[in-house]
Amino acid sequence: MVNIGYHAAKIQGKFNRSLYKAVLSQIVSIPIKQTRQVAISLYAFSCERDLPEQVASIRSFIGHVGIPETFTVVSDGSYTDSSCNLLCRIHPCVRVIPLQNFLRRDLPQCVLDYAQLHPLGKKLSALMSIPINGTTIYTDSDILFFPGGIDLINLSNSEEKYSLYLPDCSISLDDRIIYDDAEKTNPVNGGFLLFRHELDWSFAIERLANLQEAPIYFTEQTIVHLTMHHNHGKPLCSKKYVLNVEDQFMYSDKFASKNNALRHYVNDVRHKFWFNVGR
Q: What is the pLDDT along the chain (279 residues), one digit of tens a residue?
A: 778 889 999 999 999 999 999 999 999 999 999 999 999 999 999 999 999 999 999 999 999 999 999 999 999 999 999 999 999 999 999 999 999 999 999 999 999 999 999 999 999 999 999 999 899 999 999 999 999 999 999 999 998 999 999 999 989 999 999 999 999 999 999 999 999 999 999 999 999 999 999 999 999 999 999 999 999 999 999 999 999 999 999 999 999 999 999 999 999 999 999 999 976
Q: Do residues 151 and 158 make contact, with C-beta atoms less than 8 angstroms apart?
A: no
Q: State the residue range of the domain holding 14.
A: 4-273
Strands, sheet with 241-242, edge to edge from the N-terminal-most edge strand: 143-145, 262-264, 241-242
Instruction: Tell whether 44 is covered by a domain.
Output: yes
Alpha-carbon distances, residue 14 vs 17, 129, 269, 274, 277 (angstroms): 5, 34, 12, 8, 13
What is the number of domains present in the chain?
1
Q: Can you tell me whether residue 242 is helix, strand or coil?
A: strand
Instruction: Tell whether 92 is covered by a domain.
Output: yes
Instruction: Tell whether 68 is covered by a domain.
Output: yes
- φ/ψ region of 158 (left if φ > 0, alpha if ψ in -120 to 50, else beta) reads beta
Helices (H) and strands (E) in the chain, counts: 11, 10
Instruction: Tell whether 279 is covered by a domain.
Output: no
Strands, sheet with 164-167, edge to edge from the N-terminal-most edge strand: 94-98, 70-75, 41-46, 136-139, 188-195, 164-167, 234-235
Instruction: Tell whether 155 is covered by a domain.
Output: yes
Strand 136-139, strand 188-195: pairing? antiparallel
Alpha-carbon distances, residue 145 vs 3, 54, 264 (angstroms): 29, 12, 9
Q: How many CB atoms lie within 10 A of CB 158?
A: 12
Instruction: Tell whether 278 is covered by a domain.
Output: no
CA atoms within 13 A on the CB side of 210: 11
Instruction: Tell whether 145 is covered by a domain.
Output: yes
CATH (domain of 94): 3.90.550.10
Instruction: Tell whether 183 is covered by a domain.
Output: yes
Contacts of 227 (CB under 8 A, 6+ apart): 199, 200, 201, 203, 204
CA 146 to chain CA centroid, nearest Å: 15
Contacts of 271 (CB under 8 A, 6+ apart): 9, 10, 12, 13, 14
pTM above 0.85, yes or no: yes
Nearest CA to 226 among 242, 204, 256? Answer: 204
